[in-house]
Amino acid sequence: MTSNKKTKELMLEWLFLFFAFLSNILLVGIIIILFKESLPLFKEIKVLDFLLGRHWYPTYDPPEFGILPLILGSLWVTIGSLLVAVPLGLGAAIYISEIASTNLKEILKPAVEVLAGIPSVVLGFFGMVVIAPLLQNIFKLPTGLNALNASILLGIMAIPTITSISEDCISAVPRGFKEASYALGANRWETMIKVTVPAAFSGISSAVILGMGRAIGETMTVLMVGGGAAVIPHSFLQPVRTMTATIAAEMGETAVGGEHYYALFGIAVVLFILTLIFNIIADLVAQRFRKRIV
């Protein structure tokens, strides 16, 4: 009986080991394919010409594969989205964890998280038919499909990530910190701004970086509302083209095994490295946060 039980347990252990490794194997497989499919491009053009080239004309003769406008386009809308999401998301987090009553908190937090569940294509459609005409009228622009529109929508998408994680971190600040502050005569506002939020700062930064990762990897929305012009951005009111939108729009219509195909995989590699860097930074910052609290 006991040996039977043991075999069962062992089998389960192996099963879960398999599950644990499966996702890692998939990840490694994806990385290998990404690099393998992009390498042939660099036999044709130099890596620096690819990364710093200013012209993306993949289907012309001769083609030009410069992705600098695409990289900057992605970073541009990501920065824009943070300008929208950080004040709103952080404000919401502070309110929910420090000010709202328990009842209100129980409604607000899930409600913010529901926002994360809205499909990006729905937001994109909203941006096209509601926000675009609005921006066009307010700023007297030739078109409302631009970096600002994309930034607003990406900001909305990053808010749940930022609010949810920041709120957890603010709530995790030990009671003793606040009590000490009150004991020294600080009022609620002073305690919040000068004690609680700074104590949770590294957790909040990692929330912001994760939100950033969310924004830079988003595809459908920017494809729909970004406007798609592959120029180096110099204003939020002009159309932009991001790396993700380029891959999504062009992958379906390019010949497998052509230069253009390899170039799209090259963009995917750049995107992968950028998001990896964001995630590593977020992880490092979060680790520091844990150490400080303990």
Partner 1 sequence: MKKVVKIICLLSTLSLIAGNVLAGQKLTMSGSTTVLPIAQKAAEEFMNTNPDVDISVRGGGSGVGVAAIIDGTVDIGNSSRAAKAKEIATARGKGVSMVGTVIAKDGICIVVNKANSINNISLETAKKIYTGEISKWSDAGGSGGTIVVISRDTASGTFEVFNEKVLKGSKVREDAMMLASNQAILTSVSTTPGAVGYIGLGYVTNEVKSLVVNGVTATKETVISGKYPISRPLYMYTNDAPKGLAKQFLDYLLGPTGQKLVEEVGFIAVK
Question: Which residues here bind partner 1, judged by CB under 8 A?
Answer: 55, 57-61, 128-129, 132-133, 136, 142-145, 223-224, 227-231, 238-239, 241, 245, 248-250, 252-256, 260
Signed CA dihedral, 179, 181, 184, 190: sign only: negative
* Half-sphere CA count of 23, side-chain side, radius 13 A: 4
Nearer to partner 1, 108 or 128 (CB): 128
Q: Which is nearer to partner 1, 194 or 234 (CB)?
A: 234
Q: How far is CA 191 from the centre of its chain?
A: 31
Task: Return d(Cα 31, Cα 287) in angstroms, integer.
Answer: 26
**Residue with Cβ nearer partner 1 (62 or 185):** 62
Q: How far is CA 27 from the centre of its chain?
A: 19
Other beta carbons within 10 Å of 167: 27
Taking the complex as a whole, how short is the minimal distance between the CB of residue 136 and partner 1, in angstroms? 7
Q: What is the nearest approach in angstroms of partner 1 to the Cβ of residue 43?
A: 21
Question: How many Å apart are CA 279 and CA 214, to the nearest integer?
Answer: 10
Q: How far is the CB of 69 from partner 1 (least distance, A)?
A: 8
For residue 99, give the amino acid letter: I
Nearer to partner 1, 223 or 285 (CB): 223
Minimum CB distance to partner 1, residue 139 (Å) = 13
Single-letter amino acid, residue 114: V
Minimum CB–partner distance for residue 251 and partner 1 (Å): 8
- Residue 275 tokens read as 């998001």
> Rounded to whole angstroms, how far apart are CA atoms 135 and 67?
28
Closer by beta carbon to partner 1, 39 or else 232: 232
For partner 1, give the closer residue by CB, 73 or 160: 73
Whole-angstrom distance, CA of residue 206 vs CA of residue 284: 8
* Least distance to partner 1, CB of residue 11, Å: 14
